[in-house]
Amino acid sequence: MGEIQLYDLTKEYGNLTAVDSIDITIPEGSYTMILGPSGCGKSTTLRMIAGLETPTMGDVSIDGEIVTDLPPRKRDLSMVFQNLALWDHKTVRENIAFGLKMNDVPKDERTKHVERIAEILQIEDKLDQSPAALSGGQQQRVALGRSLVHEPDVILLDEPLSSLDAKLRIEMRTELARIQQRIGTTFVHVTHNQEDAMSIADEILLLNDGRVQQFGDPIDLFEDPNNEFVADFIGTPSMNLLDATYVDDEVQPHLDTGGFQLAIPEPYHEIYRENIPSPDVHIGMRPNKLRPASNGSAPEMPSFDASVSMVETFGDANWYYLDAGTEEDLIMKTADEDVIKSVSPNDDLTITVSPDAIHVFDPEQGEAYT
């Protein structure tokens, strides 16, 4: 239960298309994140699923039933808002039970429900306190409890972590993922934070300007971005993106960035010839896919020379800024102890990259060619 289908879902405000023909299926029981920069249409999409906003075109269906014209309370879903909207003059128990009371659920049953939910959320010992006396994370759980108590098929969360500090945010997102796994309800969670989405989502719907950029699991978005927007938005640090020329040389096809050349190994010649229609391209390489050449590096691996202009240390990984003659430095990110011990600023290195990790994009539209 809890599969959501969006059919060409569109919302216009006057001349502005806030959401443009979203056509996806959110799998039942998934933790799906709607991700994208501010103003890209995330909340509007969520609010159309909730029934708080009427689509200009298209439909929403839940478990095969078109619900586009149903009011929110007739949809089997519940929403957790950014400002948790808890009542401090009521106890946690009363906050969680409020909706049940409104629906005339008898007192005994209310108590049973509330205690079961409190157990799932591990706030059994807080039931008789005011939410004001709880930590931010505990308040979050109370807000979630108020939604879970209705046993909806779908829970919608609008930026539920945005008011938390960095440490608590990480704890809470793990907790949300655990709770979702425990109860198996479909969660649809709006965020602008790609790390939150990458860390816990089963599926990410990445939007920009109201349009779907990519919908898939986090690894797909990271490893196989549809376009430059996805490549750039996902990952810390961002993908290295460069202007380049694809030179379809008979002897050695290569990519020329102006600063360095990347030779394309033989097995990839045909793929490049078939997919890249003109010489002007953008290329992208993830910082974690760059590594210094070693004795063990395959000789046919594309490589280039660079000098280390700066190193940033994060404890668990280092970022190396590489001057390879291009306008901006490239970044190499590694947690490899041998590299961390041996590479210093001003070192000259040969950097290798697997041909699978070189992305080539249309420089106009940004679509991925390879």
Q: Which residues sit at the interface with ligand ADP, rule CB under 6 A?
A: 13, 16, 18, 36, 38-44
For residue 204, the minimal CB distance to ligand ADP (Å) is: 14
Contact 287, 332 (CB under 8 A): yes
Q: Is 85 exposed, middle or buried (0-12, 13-18, 19+ CB in 10 A)?
A: exposed
CB of 326 to ligand ADP, least distance (A): 33
Cβ nearer to ligand ADP, comparing 20 with 203: 20
Identity of the residue, 36 or 160, whose beta carbon is nearer to ligand ADP in the bound complex: 36
Q: How far is the CB of 212 from ligand ADP (least distance, A)?
A: 13
Q: Which is nearer to ligand ADP, 121 or 207 (CB)?
A: 207
Phi then psi for residue 78, to 5 deg, are -145, 145
CA atoms of 267 and 302, how far apart (whole Å): 12
Instruction: Please state the closest distance from residue 17 (CB atom) to ligand ADP, in A.
Output: 9
Closest CB to ligand ADP among residues 43, 326? 43
Q: How far is the CB of 38 from ligand ADP (least distance, A)?
A: 5
**Alpha-helical regions (H) of 156-281:** 166-183, 194-200, 218-223, 228-233, 269-275
The DSSP bridge partners found for residue 13 are 16
* In the complex, least distance from residue 207 CB atom to ligand ADP, rounded to whole angstroms: 7
Residue 344, token pair as written in the block: 């210093």
- Using the minimum distance from each CB to ligand ADP, give the nearer residue, 214 or 257: 214
- Give least dist CB 13 to ligand ADP, A: 3
Whole-angstrom CA distances from 108 to 90, 101, 105, 114, 339 are 19, 11, 9, 10, 63
Residue 195 CB neighbours (<10 A): 14
> Six-digit token pair at 32?
């799906």
**Which of 53/195 has CB closer to ligand ADP?**
53
| Closer Cβ to ligand ADP, 47 or 254, answer by number | 47
- 73 dihedral zone (left: phi>0; alpha: psi -120 to 50; beta): alpha
Cα–Cα separations (whole angstroms), residue 44 to 13, 91, 218, 247, 337: 11, 32, 22, 44, 46
